A and B are shown apart, each in its own frame.
Chain A
Amino acid sequence: MTLSAKRSLTAYLFLALPLVFFLCVRLGPMLYMFAMSFTDWGLLRKTVKFIGFDNYHAIFKDPVFLQALGNTFRYAVFGAPLVILLSLAIALLLDSIPRGKGFFRLIYVLPYITPVVAVSWVWRWMYQQPPLGVINGILGWLGLPAGEFLNSPTQALPSILAVNVWVEMGYCTTIFLAGLQTIPKEISEAAKIDGASDRQVLRRITLPLLMPITFFLMVMEGIQFLRIFTQVYNMSMQAMGGPLNSTKSAALYIYQKAFTNFEMARAASASVVLFVIIMAVTILQIRFFDKRVNY
């Protein structure tokens, strides 16, 4: 055996187990899911029959699924840009201060690394009605009317969204700040010597240079919000995505279809829909930003 053949053999040996893993635990199950979404699959069923697009017809006729899809879009469309705008502003502020960047950043990152379940319950406690909830306590103290928050079909979704913004902000701020620190100070200083104002430097130099990072974060956060599950599960009554399904996300719908109703095939088709949406949004964002990013 030649030396290079021996090396190749070693490589295959090292990769064998991990490859089996990726095929059996990632790609295989995904293909299985696609296939099962076209059948009448159920956990207790012995035989499985091909039924074409029936599951897809059924879920798209289900008003709860349509509402869950609408909610999922709302989480993503309002949540992702909000996180990014806030984080960008914070990162710019952090970048402008001469001392204490690390200290503040540490505080902002804290919500991001703590368990979402624990954080969700803390917020649920704070959102309680008067006289229990501390947020309503503060509102009352300021002379403002009490909010219903998680109890109201119109306020519940923004309330959950706000918590996720609070969680994700540390992540985006850290990445923006890292990006800002790679921009050479000479560029903005030279522009200032040439008479550019702070605003012009921001608009003409800093923001365009941050475009690639902004794009990356838009994709990441868009996906994050489209997949929202744990917050909704823990912050709605009985983990139902209420009140009146007003907070139910697509991921929670899939979970309930599969593990409460045991309608596996329906859940499979719903998860294919979610997968396609995530893919489509990702590709759309890549296309949209490709045109606008100037390196």
Chain B
Amino acid sequence: MKHKNKGKMIVRALPAYIILALLSVIMLFPFVWMISSSLKDVTQIYQLKLFPERPTLENYRYILFSTSTKFPQWFLNSLIVAVCTTASVLFFDSLVGYTLAKFRFPGKKIIFLLIISTLMIPTEMLVIPWYAMIRALKWVNTYWAIMFPGMISAFGVFLMRQFMSTIPDDLIDAARVDGLGELRIFITVVLPLVAPALATLAIFNFIGNWNAFLWPLIAASKPKMFTLPVGLANFSGEAGSDWHYIMTGAAVAMAPLILVFLVFQKQIVKGIAMTGLKG
């Protein structure tokens, strides 16, 4: 009975399937076109053909290995920035979330509100004072200058506090009775319990930092220090009509994210449903 019902439901949903499939084409077409263009050489790039007649990997060789572009360096920069900020966010956000969820001390509420209120400040408003700051402190064109605003995230604090409050107090007290230090308890007892939340936070933070544009654009003026999005914007702006190179660069910038996305799709979709990832 139930089985028959399902078959009937699929038939009834046929119009919905058709609309959703057409929509999928629109959603995916730009990616397909990007890859198609990246496989064309300069003589084919202006032909509007989905499948290139003579597909070539020459553009990828140029973008990744020629000395006239800095894509490998930018790739490395983005990786360093995304990994370091994510590691820092994981440690500090969970530490602050844990403290706010599990400790009782005067001023707790005010501190929480203070941190949460910073979520309302748009980045556009902060980049100018940040720039004055990195100039005064001589940080311009360093990794630290690109990374420092993202070392702790107020949103992550909020998220981790929610998760930390589900940990039973007895567990922490038992560890205290066993004579463990507070930092030890946090690292060996608490952190493993919130591993799924940490994974979500890590993925989101990595994606957010990999894609960040406005601040890295301002913090780095030397091409050697560009992150991948800034490098790509700069390269494309100068490439003029070399669209086959621009599309290849775009494909290279997207590749790691699509990989992360395919591997962690479940966590990402769950994370979006909880939150949203762009700060």
Contacts and interface: CB of A to CB of B under 8 A. Distances in A.
Interface of A: 4, 7-8, 10-12, 14-15, 17-19, 21-22, 25-30, 32-33, 36, 43, 90, 93-94, 96-100, 102, 104-119, 121-123, 125-126, 128, 131-132, 134, 137, 166, 169-171, 174-175, 177-178, 220, 223-224, 227, 229-230, 233-234, 238-239, 250-251, 254-255, 258-259, 264, 267-268, 271-272, 274-275, 278-279, 282
A106 B269 contact: yes
Contacts of A177: 273
A90 B133 contact: no
A29 B129 contact: yes
Contacts of A33: 125-126, 128-129
B1 to A, nearest CB: 15
B65 interface: no
Nearest to A140: B48
Nearest to A278: B122
A117 B115 CA distance: 30
A254 B126 CA distance: 11
Contacts of B272: 109, 112, 170-171, 174-175
B214 A255 contact: yes
Interface stretch (B163-171, B192-200, B205-213): B205-213
Contacts of B232: 115, 117-118, 121
B228 A267 contact: no
Nearest to A97: B13
Nearest to A227: B122
The residue in A115, A118, A227 that gathers the most chain B C-beta atoms within 10 A of its C-beta is: A118
A19 to B, nearest CB: 7
Contacts of B123: 227
Contacts of A267: 128
8 cross-chain pairs, A with B, having the tightest CB-CB distances, nearest first: A29-B129, A178-B273, A8-B105, A118-B250, A11-B103, A117-B229, A26-B118, A137-B48
A12 B99 CA distance: 9
A14 B30 contact: no
A97 B214 contact: no
Contacts of B122: 223, 227, 274-275, 278
A21 B152 contact: yes
A43 B247 contact: no
A25 to B, nearest CB: 6
A86 to B, nearest CB: 9
Given A29-B130, A116-B211, A125-B243, 11 more contacts: A8-B105, A14-B99, A26-B121, A29-B125, A93-B20, A104-B23, A113-B207, A121-B236, A174-B269, A234-B233, A271-B125
Nearest to A234: B233
Interface in B6-29: 6, 9-10, 13, 16-17, 19-20, 23-24, 26-28
Contacts of A93: 16, 19-20
A104 B24 contact: yes
Q: Secondary structure at chain B's binding surface: helix, strand, loop or mixed?
A: helix
A10 B28 contact: no
Contact of A227 (B124, B148, B211): B124
Given A30-B125, A174-B269, A258 B17 contact: no
B128 A264 contact: yes
A134 B99 CA distance: 54
Contacts of B98: 14
Contacts of A259: 131, 218
6 contacts: A109-B269, A112-B272, A122-B31, A166-B26, A174-B269, A258-B128
B138 to A, nearest CB: 14
A126 B233 contact: no
Given A11-B103, A27-B118, A118-B229, A268 B128 contact: yes
Given A22-B118, A30-B125, A178-B273, A123 B19 contact: no
Contact of A97 (B17, B27, B213): B17
Nearest to B48: A137
A22 B131 contact: no
Interface in B153-172: 154, 157
Given A29-B126, A110-B27, A131 B16 contact: no
B258 interface: yes
A113 B182 contact: no
A285 to B, nearest CB: 14
B57 interface: no
B96 interface: yes
Interface in B207-255: 207, 210-211, 213-214, 218, 228-230, 232-233, 236-237, 243, 246-247, 249-251, 253-254
Nearest to A223: B122
